[in-house]
Amino acid sequence: MNQLDRKDLSDRQLVELIAEDIRSSVEGRCIVHEPLSGHTSFRVGGPAALYVYPAGIEALSSLLQFCRDRSLNTLIIGYGNNLLVSDAGFAGCVIDLMETTSHSERSEESPFKYIAVEGERITAGAGVWLNDLIMQTADNGLTGMEELAGIPGGIGGGMSMNCGAFGRFISDHLEELKIMELDGEIKTVTGSKIEFGYRIAPGLKNRIVLEAAFDLQREKAEIVNRVIAETIAEREKRNIMTLPSAGSVFRNPEGYYAARLLDSVGARGMKSGGVEVSSLHANFIVNSGNGTAADIMNLILRLKEKVYTKYNLELKLELRTIGF
């Protein structure tokens, strides 16, 4: 069986045959033609030919080996809060370490979801919901991650995006990461040896995050809790979490705020099919109806064009696109 491409996506028999092979050689669950709209915060995206929940690290390694042998494209999905998946879907194998049955339902069962505290060091599996980790830091009187409270997503996705807010990045207090290379090799890498940037992690390209350990400082739990509450209140004040979106669409170009540039070209309220630029934040596209990935991409291109025409500046995407 060889590489899948787009035309094979509709060949259920072929995909089912590959799925059978996966089920017999990889411990875990394998679903075929899983709609990715159910796994992304935008609520758009066509089917993944194969959608696999590996049962643990060994199963993940076997799955990678399987995909390599068959030249199958792979995509590691987190909680899908920063992904724009095309309406055509993904002609390969999506790997889910989070055990999410849908975007809104989270299972606690995953072998990649665990938190351990040892002194001032807190360790979390890739599948841990970031907020759960932050609440644990508070319970243990540890400071350093409060400003990240309210960012929707998991540890794996957060590290891969180097997510952040209010001047804080998730990589700030990173002590070390346990990763798996695509050939299945597991490594522990010191945080300072991994290249991170603003919403990017070049040092994690083609690597799967298995676990992250953070080195924090002692603080009174009530102070940590207060900063978390203030951070969440500040996010809620902006009130941009109500409609399906993927957070900020564009990265801030050096020396500029993308939202201000977009505001100045009249972005707020611009529409494309069932999606529009949020009336509350010019850098958020929200799915206000039955929007499609094509609607979103269309709006993205129009926004880029407007900013380029006025400022001769090319806005770059913060969200990750799949299958375009």
Ligand X SMILES: Cc1cc2nc3c(=O)[nH]c(=O)nc-3n(C[C@H](O)[C@H](O)[C@H](O)COP(=O)(O)OP(=O)(O)OC[C@H]3O[C@@H](n4cnc5c(N)ncnc54)[C@H](O)[C@@H]3O)c2cc1C
The SS3 of residue 203 is helix
For ligand X, the closer of residues 74 and 292 by Cβ is 74
For ligand X, the closer of residues 50 and 163 by Cβ is 163
Residues of this chain that bind ligand X (CB under 6 A): 41, 75-83, 97, 126, 151-154, 156-158, 160-161, 163-165, 199, 204, 208-209, 241, 245-247, 320
**Whole-angstrom Cα distance, residue 112 to residue 98?**
7
Q: Where are the beta strands (DSSP E) in the chain?
A: 28-35, 47-54, 74-77, 83-85, 90-96, 100-102, 105-106, 115-118, 121-125, 142-143, 164-165, 168-169, 174-181, 186-190, 207-215, 217-218, 271-272, 275-277, 285-287, 320-322
Q: Rounded to the nearest whole angstrom, what is the least distance from the CB of residue 293 to ligand X in the complex?
A: 14
Q: Rounded to the nearest whole angstrom, what is the least distance from the CB of residue 321 to ligand X in the complex?
A: 10
For ligand X, the closer of residues 28 and 120 by Cβ is 28
Instruction: Let me know: does 145 contact 173? Beta carbons within 8 Å.
Output: yes
Tokens at 68, concatenated = 């390599």
Q: Rounded to the nearest whole angstrom, what is the least distance from the CB of residue 69 to ligand X in the complex?
A: 21
For ligand X, the closer of residues 111 and 152 by Cβ is 152
Q: Rounded to the nearest whole angstrom, what is the least distance from the CB of residue 276 to ligand X in the complex?
A: 15
Type of residue numbered 313: L
Active site residue 118: no
What Rg, from alpha-carbon coordinates, does the chain have?
A: 20
Active site residue 276: no
For ligand X, the closer of residues 77 and 120 by Cβ is 77
For ligand X, the closer of residues 46 and 153 by Cβ is 153
Give me the catalytic one of 62, 199, 245, 272: 199
Distances (CA, A) of 72 to 34, 88, 131, 254: 16, 17, 33, 37
How far is residue 152 CA from its own chain's centroid? 9
* Residue from 153, 204, 151 nearest 174 by CA: 204
Instruction: Let me know: does 158 contact 82? Beta carbons within 8 Å.
Output: no
Q: Rounded to the nearest whole angstrom, what is the least distance from the CB of residue 240 to ligand X in the complex?
A: 6
Instruction: Let me know: does 153 contact 163? Beta carbons within 8 Å.
Output: yes
Q: Rounded to the nearest whole angstrom, what is the least distance from the CB of residue 144 to ligand X in the complex?
A: 16
Active site residue 230: no
The SS3 of residue 68 is helix
Give me the catalytic one of 37, 86, 245, 248: 248
Q: Which residues are known to be catalytic?
A: 199, 248, 318
